[in-house]
Amino acid sequence: MSEKNSGQESVAWSLPAMSPLFWIISILLFALTPGWYFPKNTYKPLILGIPGWAFCSILATLGLGIFAMWAVYSLWKPIKG
Amino acid sequence: MNETSLALGWPIVVITFLLIGIIWLLGYWAYKKRLEVTTKDYFLASSTLGYIVLGLSLFAVQYSGNSFVGTVAKVYRTGFFFILFPTYMIALVIGMLIFAPPIWNASFQRGYTSVGELLIDRYESKIITFLVSLCLLWGAFVQFFEQNFAMGYLGSVVSGGVISYKLMILVFALTILVTTWIGGFRGIAIITALQGALMLLGLLFVIGLIEHYGGVSHAVTVIAQTSPKKLYPPAGKLLTLWFSIIFLVMIGAAAYPQNIQHYMALKSPKDLRRMLFLMPPLYLFTALVLFFFGIVAIAVFPGLSKMASEKVVPMMLAHSLNTTFGYIATLFIFIAVTMATLSTASGTVIAISMFIVKDFYKLLINPEASEEKSVKVGQWIVLASVLIGVIMTLYPTLTIWRWVEIKFEILLQGVPALIFAVYSSRVHKKPVLAGIIVGLGIALGLTLSGHAKVYGIHAGVIGFIINTAIAYFGSLILKPSEEELKKAKEIVAAAKAHG
C-alpha cells in the first residue's frame, strides 16, 4: 500500500466532477427527464406511438449519454502548463 | 392464461449444462494463465486486462438478472414511469465519472489495491474502514443474491417445471462457486466479457419478440384502454421518487465494490476513459430495449399480481414458443439472461471475497497473512457467500426491485467517506465517523419503522444527505491536526494526478 508506483512522471489531470459545467449540464438534463412540463393525468400527445412526455424523457436521457461521452474526453484530461 | 402451457422443457436443461461446461472450461483456462498466486493476481488479474475485456465485463456486471427479469417486472407494474430505467443507467455512467478518475489516480500513485487501503491511509481509522467496507459489502452481497431470484424464476418457468425454482438456484450457485474458485478475477473478467457480447445478441432477439407481440404502438393503444394511468407522466410524490431513484443509482451503483475493483484493475487511465466512453451507448440501448419489452408485457399479460409479475419475462418467453422465431428467440434470450445473471453474480462474489480478505482479514484481523493464505481465505469466503445467498433466496417474499432499493439505502451511507477521501482534504475522521453512524441510523430507523420513503424520497437518500452534511460542516468546526491535514492533502493531490 505504501509503495508508490515510480518511474513515471506525474501529470495533473482535471477531474470531471471538479468542473462546474459537469454539474450544470447534468442537473439541467436530469431535470428534463420526468416530463413535468407536460399536462398531468393524460398521456397525450403521442409522439411516434408513445406518450409525448416519455419521448422527451428519452431525448433528455440521450442528451445525458452524449454529454457523458463528451465529458470523458473533454473534462478529464491532462492540465497543460 | 396458463403460463406453463408452453415450455422448452428438456432442451433447456441440456443447454444450461452446456453453457455451464463452457464457462467452467474458460475459468480453468484463465486459471492456467495466472501470473502468480497472489491476491493482486487473484483479485485484480495483476492489472493486465485491456479496456474491451473490462468494458464488456463491466457492462455485463451492471446488466444482470435483475435488469432482465426484476426491472422488466417493475416496468410491467409501473408502466411508462419506468422510462426512468434508461435514465438511471446513464446516471450510473455520470456517477462513474465522479468516482473512477480520482480512485484510479490515487490507487496508481499510492499503490492501493482495495477501498480499505485507501480509507485506512486517508483516515487512519479502523472503525471508519470497517463501517464503510460493511456498507459497500452489503450492497455487493444483495446484488449477488438478487441474481438467484432471477435465475430461479427464469429456469423454472421456461423449462416448464422440468427444473424447479430451488434446483435452478442450487445449480446456479454451484456454477458461480466453481468459476470463481478457480478463475479468480481474470477468469471472471474474461468470462463476463464473453457474457456481455452474448447479452447484446440476446437483446436483438428481445427486439424481435417486441415485434412478435405487435410492437410498442400497439401495446400503448391497449394500455390506453385497460390501464391508462400507466401512460401518465409522474407527478407529486412520483416526481420526487423519480429523482430519488436517479440519485440512489448514480451514487450507489457507481460505488459498488465490484465496480471499484474494475476501476482499479485497469492498466492505464487511457483504458479507463475508453471504457467509460463505451458505456452510454451500450447502457442506453440495453435499457431501452428492456423497457419496451416490459411495456409490451403489460398488453400481453394484463392484471398480474405483484409477486406473479416477477415472472412476467419468463412468461413472455414461454408464450412465444408456438412459433419458430419465438422458439429460437427464447433460446437466445435464455442464454443472454443466464449469462447476465452469472456474470453479475460471479463478478460480485469475487468483489465480496476481495473486500473481506483485503479490508477485514488482512487490514484488520491478520496483517501478517501470506499471499497464498489470503487467496485461500478469499476462496472460502466465496463458498460462504454462495451458501448464505442460497439460503436467503429459496423462499422469496420481497420483489427483486425492493431488494434493489434496500441494497442502496445502506450502501449509500459508506459513500460520503469515500468521496471526501479523494476530493476534500478539509474533511477529517471524527465528523466522517459521526456522519456514517447518523446516516446509517436514519436509513435503518426509517426503513424499519415502515417509512422506507418520505414523500417519495428514499430513507437512504435522506441518511446520505445528513451524513454528508455532518462530515463536511463538522470538519469546518472541528479542525484536523496538522499531520492529518498534510496526509489528506497528499492523497487528494494524488487523486488529481497520475503518470
Contact B277 A13 (CB under 8 A): no
pLDDT tops 60 at residue A4: no
Out of A44-58, B190-204, B344-358, the most confident range is A44-58
Asked if B212 is an interface residue toward chain A (Cβ–Cβ < 8 A), one would say no
Averaged over B4-10, what is the pLDDT? Answer: 61
Question: Sorting pLDDT into bands at 50, 70 and 90, what band is B371?
Answer: confident
Q: Is B220 on the interface with A (CB under 8 A)?
A: yes
A69 neighbourhood in chain B, CB within 8 Å: 277, 280-281
Report how far Cα B435 is from the mean position of its chain's Cα atoms: 25
- Note whether B273 contacts A72, CB cutoff 8 Å: yes
Q: Using one digit for the tens of pLDDT, what is the confidence trace for B99-156?
A: 988 988 888 888 888 888 899 999 999 899 999 988 998 888 888 888 888 888 877 8
Choose among B90, B102, B220: nearest Cβ to A15. B102
Residue B41: pLDDT band (50, 70, 90) is low
**Beta carbons of B87 and A4 less than 8 Å apart:** no
Question: Which residues of chain B lie closer than 8 angstroms to A73, CB-CB?
Answer: 273, 277
Confidence of residue A7 (pLDDT cuts 50, 70, 90): very low
Q: What is the pLDDT of residue B242?
A: 95
Residues of B with Cβ-Cβ distance to A42 under 8 angstroms? 232
Q: Does B231 touch chain A (CB under 8 A)?
A: yes
Q: pLDDT by residue (tens digit) across B60-100? A: 767 777 778 888 999 999 999 999 999 999 999 999 999 98
Most confident of A58-62, B8-12, B330-334: A58-62
What per-residue confidence (pLDDT) applies to B338? 79
Residue B42 has pLDDT above 60, yes or no: no
Choice between B419 and B105, residue whose per-residue pLDDT is larger: B419
* Confidence label for B43 from pLDDT (cuts 50, 70 and 90): low
Question: What's the pLDDT tens digit per position in B295-338?
Answer: 999 999 998 988 889 889 888 988 888 888 888 888 888 887 77
Q: Does the structure's ipTM exceed the value 0.85? A: yes
Residue B3's pLDDT band (cuts 50, 70, 90): very low
SS (HEC) of chain B: CCCCCCCCCHHHHHHHHHHHHHHHHHHHHHHHCCCCCCHHHHHHHHHCECHHHHHHHHHHHHCCHHHHHHHHHHHHHHHHHHHHHHHHHHHHHHHHHHHHHHHHHHHHHHCCCCHHHHHHHHHCCHHHHHHHHHHHHHHHHHHHHHHHHHHHHHHHHHCCCCCCHHHHHHHHHHHHHHHHHHHHHHHHHHHHHHHHHHHHHHHHHHHHHHHHCCHHHHHHHHHHHHCHHHHCCCCCHHHHHHHHHHHHHHHHHHHCHHHHHHHHHECCHHHHHHHHHHHHHHHHHHHHHHHHHHHHHHHHCCCCCCCHHHHHHHHHHHHCCCCHHHHHHHHHHHHHHHHHHHHHHHHHHHHHHHHHHHHHHHHHHCCCCCHHHHHHHHHHHHHHHHHHHHHHHCCCCCCHHHHHHHHHHHHHHHHHHHHHHHHCCCCCHHHHHHHHHHHHHHHHHHHHCCCCEECCEEHHHHHHHHHHHHHHHHHHHCCCCHHHHHHHHHHHHHHHEEC
Averaged pLDDT, B473-490: 88
Contact B162, B12 (CB under 8 A): yes
- Residues of chain A with Cβ-Cβ distance to B109 below 8 Å are 4-5, 10
pLDDT of res. B258: 74
